Amino acid sequence: MNKILSKFKLLSYSLFAIPLAILGLPLYIYLPTFYVKDVGIDIALVGMILFITRIIDVFTDPIIGRLSDKYFKRYVFIIIGSIIVLFSFYFLTHPIKNANALYLLLFSILIYTGWSFITITYFSLSAEISYDKNHTNLLASSREFFTIIAIVLALFLPYYLDISKNEHKSLLLMWDLVLYSLPILLLILIIGTKDTKKIDTNISIKQSFLFLKENSYKFKRLFFAFFINNMANAIPSTLFILFVTNVIGKKDSIGLLLLVYFLSGVLALPFWYYLSKRFGKKNSWIYSIILASTVFLYVPFLSQGDFIAFLIVCILSGFSLGADMFLPSSIQADIAQEFAKKDSQFTGVLFSFWAMLTKFALAAAVGVTFVILGLFGFDENPQSQTSLFVLSSLYSILPILLKIIAVINILKSKHLKY
């Protein structure tokens, strides 16, 4: 739509990724472990609760996407989502004395609903700010740059303040950061993107999905690859604290390892951006997946005391992080624009569909891994070598197998030309 992408518009759009990244970190890394170790809910039950929460969240995404397309301006939905997120995140990080499984379920549903209001609308903006593919690539890479910067900051501060070993104190710090950064950067986002135009449409949710079904056949393998690769990425994130604590035996280095991992991703972003312009987004994405999979081949051989070896794994796998974060979303924006060449506008529905895939992948990652660990008698201080082997296998081997499947499907996506 807009031929010129100003620096202010790019910056105002990208900066809003900061509070979302800070919020996402505890939800994926700290929260499950906190409710197992500190609150005292059974690990298998936590896995089932988060799985159920994600499944419920999946079914709300199409409705939010359609409403975002049909009614109001995009930022109205972001404001609504921000209010819900702040309310529910407070109660998740400040649990009542007798917090139980129902408590976790209720506020998890609320926070993921608010998260959907924000992220579906926010990601839809990247396809509406500009129709130039170079701009969408720049928007996506810039957004993910600030995402990783925010994650590095969120990891560095607990380490600097010497609270990285305490999941609850780290969660409380994340709450403070989100509380102060989200409203300010939301205001900047609204000011910077206020002239972004959205095509009005009167088509229903049913018509939107019929249109998607009729026109998305050529991307079905790519959609499946999105899902599988997201699940492969979610599994190590979910199990990271448990793996470092129980297999590597360096709980006091969790903050440092996460910091190194994401910092490596930040430093690698310019490289992947250049590579995507030189060899295309599809090929560059495949290269990053192969790199991460190759590095993870060494993880099953690690054990107590192999800190340096695992540090190298974090650096090298982190190098592929930047590409794995911004290239898929950039490709999604390109696909959304290709669909938008039709007469109907349903950008929000497209991004809600991808959000559904992502959330279902995250739900599957948490649900499957935590339930399996529970079945093998894993707790916060596992004594069984079998449970340690299962943890190590879930952390490393399963993601590799999933990424192989993802690469095969990307290669078979013959219609993907990006």
In this prediction, residue 115 carries a pLDDT of 87
Task: Give pLDDT, residue 343.
Answer: 44
125, containing H or E segment? helix 101-129
Share of the chain above pLDDT 90, in %: 19
What confidence score (pLDDT) does residue 51 get? Answer: 81
**pLDDT band at residue 402 using 50, 70 and 90 as cut-offs:** very high
d(CA 28, CA 393): 19
How would residue 207 be classed by pLDDT, with cut points 50, 70 and 90?
low
- Contact between 49 and 101 under an 8 Å Cβ cutoff? The reply is yes
Predicted confidence band at 308 (pLDDT cuts at 50, 70, 90)?
very high
CB 236 within 8 A of CB 397: no
Q: Which helix (H) or strand (E) holds 251?
A: none
pTM equals 0.72
What's the confidence (pLDDT) of residue 417?
A: 58
Cα separation, 269 vs 310, whole angstroms: 22
CB-based contacts of 213, cutoff 8 Å, min separation 6: none
Token look-up 């492969």 returns 232
Topology of domain 11-194+222-410, CATH: Growth Hormone; Chain: A; (1.20.1250)
- The tokens describing 274, both together, are 């250049």
CB atoms within 10 A of CB 2: 15
Between 128-137, 154-163, 182-191, 195-204, the lowest mean confidence (pLDDT) is in 195-204
Model pLDDT for residues 255-270, shown as the tens digit of each residue: 788 888 888 887 888 8
Q: How confident is the model at residue 404 (pLDDT cuts 50, 70, 90)?
A: very high
Per-residue pLDDT at 339:
64
What pLDDT score does 200 carry? Answer: 52
pLDDT bucket at 92, cuts 50 / 70 / 90: very high
pLDDT at residue 1, as a whole number: 43
Domain boundaries, the chain: 11-194+222-410
**Residue 16 token pair:** 């809003």
pLDDT band at 179 (very low <50, low <70, confident <90, very high): very high
Residue 31 has pLDDT above 50, yes or no: yes
Higher pLDDT, 132 or 177: 177
Q: What confidence score (pLDDT) does residue 2 get? A: 47
The per-residue pLDDT for 167 is 77
Question: What average pLDDT is seen over the chain?
Answer: 81
**Amino acid in the structure at residue 327:** L
